[in-house]
Amino acid sequence: MVVVDRLSKYAHFLALKHPYTTQTIAQTFLDNIVKLHGFPEAITSDRDTIFLKDPTRWLACLHMDEYWYNTNYHSSIHTTLFEALYSRPPPIHPPYIFGESATSEVDNILTIRDIKLQLLKHHLSRAQLRMKNQTDKHRSDRSFQVGYWVYLKVEPYKEITISSQPYPKLVAKFYGLIQVTKKIGHVTYTLLLPALVKIHPIVHVSLMKKCHVIPDHISYPPVLDIADPQCPEPELLLRRRMVKKGNKMKHDHETKWGSPSQLKG
């Protein structure tokens, strides 16, 4: 397991013995990270199933959760619960003020530490701003109202719910017109799709393009119906293997598809 500090990019490499559980992960984190640096303000994980399942196994961390909750600022009382109960702020690591220590060596070390922390925060903020500006060059501000007619980009779904085409690069990426029926959030909308189109009606704004002129022809994504007699039938199972997805093993099949079945009179 690798734990990286977001500010300084300092990393800890922790050895885990397989099979590991949620309880062993939590205990390893407490013994190696919290012991040295304290409990972090925020934790960003890779959303592995070991972090998401069986939340009852994190009971050993309840005392840390309690400390985090009681030492955070509450807007309703304009202070922390710790300070409201004990009439003093929670113990923290305040920035060092030059001259507080009588020892010159300690004074220099702590002063340099604070200067480096400020420099790290400055470089990190500048890098984040640079990445944001670079990403914003490829983004556009899109907003749609209920009743608008839009085109829908279906490329992410073409291998699952839409019938395959002989030349996928030449296939249209946008289909429509499709009407917006509901705005769910800032970036999600509900579309009025035909019943035969097996696509979830809630889509992201990046998959929509506004229609300015009503076209003469309206096209919808071609749907593959497995109940259709013209649908290809499996001819031979070529290979079968076990594939690991997350912490689970699943079957993966390679199938040879035959020609479409003939209509029977």
Instruction: Write down the pLDDT at residue 3.
Output: 87
Please name the residue that has the structure tokens 């807007």: 75
> Phi and psi (nearest 5°) for 110?
-70, -35
Higher pLDDT, 98 or 141: 141
- CATH architecture group of domain 148-210: Roll (2.30)
* Radius of gyration for the alpha carbons in the chain, expressed in angstroms and rounded: 28
Neighbouring C-alpha atoms within 13 Å toward the C-beta of 46: 7
pLDDT of residue 260: 55
Mean pLDDT is lowest, of 3-17, 26-40, 82-96, for 82-96
How confident is the prediction for the chain on average, in pLDDT?
A: 77
Write out pLDDT tens, residues 142-176.
888 898 889 888 765 554 556 566 666 777 778 87
What is d(CA 122, CA 76) in angstroms, rounded to the nearest whole number? 32
pTM of the model: 0.41
Residue type, 178: I
Interacting residues of 33 by C-beta distance below 8 A, sequence separation 6+: 3, 12, 40
For residues 203 and 35, the model is more confident at 203
Secondary structure, 3-state, the chain: CEEECCCCCCEEECCCCCCCCHHHHHHHHHHHHHHHHCCCCCCCCCCCHHHHCCHHHHHHHHHHHHHHHHCCEECCCCEEHHHHHHCCCCCCCCCCCCCCCCCHHHHHHHHHHHHHHHHHHHHHHHHHHHHHHHHHCCCCCCCCCCCCEEEEECHHHCCCCECCCCCHHHCCCEEEEEEEEEECCCCEEEEECCCCCCCCCEEEHHHEEECCCCCCCCECCCECCCCCCCCEEEEEEEEEEEEEECCEEEEEEEEEEEEECCCCC
pLDDT range class, residue 181, cuts 50, 70, 90: very high
Q: What pLDDT is recorded for position 193?
A: 84
Which tokens sit at 141?
């501000």
pLDDT at residue 263, as a whole number: 39
Domain locations along the chain: 2-86, 94-139, 148-210
| Overall average pLDDT of the 94-113 stretch | 73
Which residues fall within 8 angstroms of residue 128, CB to CB, at 6 or more apart? none
Q: What pLDDT score was predicted for residue 265? A: 34
